[in-house]
Each structure stands twice: as C-alpha cells, then as structure tokens.
Amino acid sequence: MNRIAGRAGIALILALVLIAGTAFFVADYVMYAEDWVIFPGSPHLYYGTNLGCGVVTDRDGALLMDLRGGRQYSPNVDLRMSTLHWLGDRSGSIYAPALAQYASSLAGFDLVNGVYSYGLTSGQAKLTLISQAQIAALNALGDRKGTVAVYNYKTGEILCAVTTPTYDPDNVPNIEGDTTGAYEGAYVNRFIQSAYIPGSIFKIVTLAAALETIPDIESQIFYCEGTFSVDGEEITCDGVHKHQTLQEAFQNSCNCAFAQIAMQLGGETLQAYADQFGITQP
C-alpha cells in the first residue's frame, strides 16, 4: 500500500512539473513568440539584414515597397530616393528601420497561425509618412547633406523624414569609387543615427528663460545690423533686422537679438532651462 502511495506521489509530482512546464512555455510563447519569429537571423523572412516579405505604403496607401517575391520599390524615382533610409537597399548596406519596426505586420504573424501568409500575400505596414512631403523635402535639400523632418506633436506621428545624401536603389551609383564626396555618409540615416547642435530651436529655451526671469524683457528693443560681437567672436544673422521688439526678434529668428538676450540671462540660467527642457538628456 505504501509502495502504491509512493508511486502515486511521484506521478503527481511529475504531473505538476509537466503542467508547470507547459504553463511556463505557453506564457513564454505568448510574450516572446513575435520576437522569435521576426528575429533577423530567420532565413525564411530575411534577405541579408533586411526583411524580405510584405507590402509597405505611406499613410494614404501609396506603394513604397512590395517585398513579395523580391524587393520592388515605388515607381517614382524621387519617392524611392526619399524613403531609401527607411526601407533599406537591396544589398543590406542601409539599415531599414521601418521594416524592423513593423516586421510582425509585414510577416503576417499572429499567435494562432504563426507566419500564416509567408510566401503568399504577406502582411502590410502603413507608415505615417506623406509621399508628397517626402518628395518636397528631398527637392528642397538638393545637394546638401542633412535631414528634414516633420512630425505631429500631438500624436507623435512622423509625417516626413528625409536624409541626404541618398540614391536611387533601382539605379545604384558607384559609391565606393566616387571621388567627389557627393555620397559621403550615404549609408547613414541622419534623422535617427546622427546628433545635431540644436541651432535656432534653442531660441525657444532662451525665450522661455527670458520671459520668466527678466522682468522688462517684453518692453526691450533689440538692434540687429547683421553681426554682433561677443568676446571677440562674431555672431552673424541671416538679415539686417534693425530695431525689433522681442516678438519681432523671435519671428525673425534673429541671432543678434538672441545673443543679447543670452548675455542678459547668463550661462547658469540658460543651463538650468536647457536641463528643464531635456535638451541635455539623450
């Protein structure tokens, strides 16, 4: 009797271990299955470092890339160039953050069916980008190296994000053999992989500090003759704005006026407000 009871106890323990193991696996599957499936090492979903399935459109449904049975970009050359740093190139030299972000949608993955549409229609990802804005920003940048971005501050949606230099993925130039420097940094997405000095947006920090700490700041008049000297360093402005109120100086984004305001504030006050705005944080 004792032997039967002992064996029953062992069987019960094994059953509990099995149940616990199964519960652990199911919980792990629910939490991490998507990460397992879309892991970049998967030969079923990736070509090189970039995803190889699905359809990508802009916010209005305009085709940006069709990955079903190959990598087909938009038929519009300017749109191909302006979205290259989001969709990547065929060789995998340029990282494709949009494909990485929406990998599960593009693979057509769900917990019940897995990659249920692999090799057929795959999934679809609709980006928040506006095609017309992408093209306009690309044309505005011209031969310059840099980035133009527009986002909806209420929703966080990125409406436009273009980085240059870029190129047509359907007509790849000889980047390695180029000696003009035209393609220097072409593999870098300057919007998400580079850091920039704040520039004129720092005037918002300066203005906020001035409004809160300089009592008569709104009644002051600032003079701009195109240049302003600070400790032997010459600050230049895009125009000659002459006499301006604070509001006019901000409207004109006048470097000379804001240099004068910064001198009134002092370094410690500006540092404190920069910290408040989070500019000094990554």
What positions carry a catalytic annotation? 200
Phi, psi dihedral angles at 193 (to 5 degrees) = -115, 5
| Cβ–Cβ under 8 Å, residues 60 and 131 | yes
Select from 92, 42, 43, 96 the least CA-distant residue to 65: 96
Q: Identify the three-state secondary structure at position 65.
A: strand
> Cα 242–246–253 angle (5° rounding)?
70
| Cβ–Cβ under 8 Å, residues 98 and 86 | yes
Handedness of CA 100, 101, 106, 112 (dihedral sign): positive
E-strand stretches of the chain: 46-47, 50-51, 55-57, 63-66, 72-73, 109-110, 114-115, 124-126, 146-151, 158-164, 222-224, 227-230, 233-236, 242-244
| Cβ–Cβ under 8 Å, residues 237 and 255 | yes
Phi, psi dihedral angles at 239 (to 5 degrees) = -145, 180
